[in-house]
Structure 1
Amino acid sequence: MEKKTRILIVEDDMIIGANLSLQLSTLGYEVTGIESRGEEAIMHTNANSPDIILMDINLKGKLNGIETVALIQENHNIPIIYLTANSDEVTFTRARKTHPFAFVSKPFNRLDLQRTIALAVEQLEEREGYQKPLNEIQFMEDRIFIRCNGKMSKLLLNDILYIEADRNYCTLVTEKCKHVLASTLKTMEEELPLSSFIRVHRSYVINISKVDVVTDHHLEIGRKVIPLSKSHKEFLMSRIHTI
């Protein structure tokens, strides 16, 4: 069965939101929900990980659409399509800083929206398709074996820089290559030795010996900037002091 692209609609006008949902469902997309407040959109994204977010800039509640997207992007890399009736330069400049995939002006043309989403889906498929998820990992004391192209390849644990979550998959990164694994980050964390690997964020497990820089809100491994959650910072610092 072909996987459906999952789309979250964030729209303060529930009539428009319901109409959008109907159109998207008719086009074969899966609508994960319709939210009218930024706070609810963030919680929904954390719980459901949609593939694309349609985001109205003017929302109910304390957060507008731009502020909501900025907070979502702290933990997720999801294409954003802004839906907006505001065409002023100030709004556009602020929204542009969040690097959206596209802007669709209200009242939007159905065909324009359909084409914009189709282009976003194509980019998603290209981004996710550059590496096929691998199916088998075997853990040993100081190494893992990864099945690739019909054979098991050895990877020393000390060569791993960090592991990044992507829903039910994760990406294991070394200095020379990346491996997309058919495993959750939680499973990898449980299998890897705590003496070397710790979680620093909901989406990252790092090799503590590879850390170059630690700040209040992020750490760096090579040129990669990795977010550091407040709840994990104290444990990370205590581990660094024991190295």
Structure 2
Amino acid sequence: MNILIIDDDLCFSKIIKKDILSFFSDFYDDISIEVINTDFKKVVEYSTIDLIFLDIDLKTKYNGINIGQYIQSNFPKAIIVFVSSHEELVFSALSVRFFQFVRKSKYQTDIIKVLKQIKKHIDENIKKTVIRVNGRSHVIKISEIIYLMSIGHDLIIKTINNEFTIYSSLVKFMNEVDYKELVQIQRNMVINLNFTKDVTRIKVIMFDDVEHNVGRKYQNNLIEKYEEYLLK
């Protein structure tokens, strides 16, 4: 799990990093925590962010709202937790789909509650699967799959960082992963709603502006799944 802390308060960053590591190390082995205290534009260098603790009131030309919007656009499944000593800023944060808000003035009370909520969310929503490519096993996060495309007996799995080709049918893979935000739009194609920019009954526009037509057979189901997704 890749965790990022963005806060211009060095002392607070050390405290929250220690608490996060202490809590999650009891449950997960693959924890990586990085802290950004000054050069906030470094956030664009990351290829994967699972969880971010983000100070809203950064005392620079950058602010937590703008960074949060960038995270939301580029890492749609990232868990965003805003942090601030100014509780009233929670209203400004509503322009970003964030998970929780930690008040620095009530830190000891808030952090335990929020970390437990994050753990519950991860256990319920962040699923992984193992695929085999050329005799090697690869673990991929289902949430990072952008699309699946079936060509003959091969299945192309496009993720955020890689593209894999395995011997499998689309139906078989979908039954195995059971992930609601993967939705079939064509006979041989499934897309992840988290990576869509616009969805209509007949067309899907992905985050990279690539357009896909929706087969007539799949239109009603797509709209139904998309409406459920928007209400989450």
* Same fold per superposition (TM over 0.5): yes
- 2:15 aligned with 1:19, yes or no? yes
1:67 is matched with 66
Going from structure 1 to structure 2, the CA distance change for 1:133 and 1:97 (only over 3 Å counts) comes to same
Cα offset, 1:97, TM superposition: 2.3
Larger radius of gyration: 1
- 2:116 aligned with 1:118, yes or no? yes
What TM-score comes out, normalization by structure 1 length?
A: 0.55
- The AA in structure 2 aligned to 1:32 is I
2:151 is matched with 157
Which of residues 6, 9, 17 is equivalent to 2:5? 9
Cα offset, 1:226, TM superposition: 1.2
- Is 2:150–2:156's contact at 8 Å kept on the other side of the alignment? no
1:42 is matched with 44
* Residue aligned with 2:3, SS: strand
**Cα separation, 2, equivalents of 1:219 and 1:176:** 28
* Residue aligned with 1:19, SS: helix
Going from structure 1 to structure 2, the CA distance change for 1:81 and 1:175 (only over 3 Å counts) comes to same
Residues 81-120 of structure 1: pairs in structure 2 closer than 5 A = 81-88=81-88, 91-120=89-118
- 2:79 aligned with 1:79, yes or no? yes
| Cα deviation digits, residues 105-127 of structure 1 (max 9, x gap) | 12233242022122112212211
* Residue aligned with 1:39, SS: helix
1:185 is matched with none
Percentage of matched positions with identical amino acids = 18
* Residue aligned with 1:116, SS: helix
Going from structure 1 to structure 2, the CA distance change for 1:111 and 1:227 (only over 3 Å counts) comes to same
Cα offset, 1:160, TM superposition: 9.7
| Cα deviation digits, residues 42-84 of structure 1 (max 9, x gap) | 33xx24x232111100114322001101012221120011101
- Is 2:2–2:33's contact at 8 Å kept on the other side of the alignment? yes
- The AA in structure 2 aligned to 1:83 is V
**Cα separation, 2, equivalents of 1:64 and 1:19:** 21
- The AA in structure 2 aligned to 1:41 is V
Residues 22-33 of structure 1: pairs in structure 2 closer than 5 A = 22-29=18-25, 30-33=31-34
**Cα separation, 1, equivalents of 2:32 and 2:119:** 14
Gaps of 5+ in 1: 139-154, 182-206, 211-216, 237-243
- Is 2:103–2:110's contact at 8 Å kept on the other side of the alignment? no
- Is 2:150–2:170's contact at 8 Å kept on the other side of the alignment? no
**Cα separation, 1, equivalents of 2:101 and 2:95:** 13
- The AA in structure 1 aligned to 2:44 is I
**Cα separation, 2, equivalents of 1:96 and 1:159:** 46
* Residue aligned with 1:133, SS: strand
Cα offset, 1:228, TM superposition: 1.6
1:134 is matched with 130
Going from structure 1 to structure 2, the CA distance change for 1:14 and 1:126 (only over 3 Å counts) comes to same
Equivalent residues, number:
173
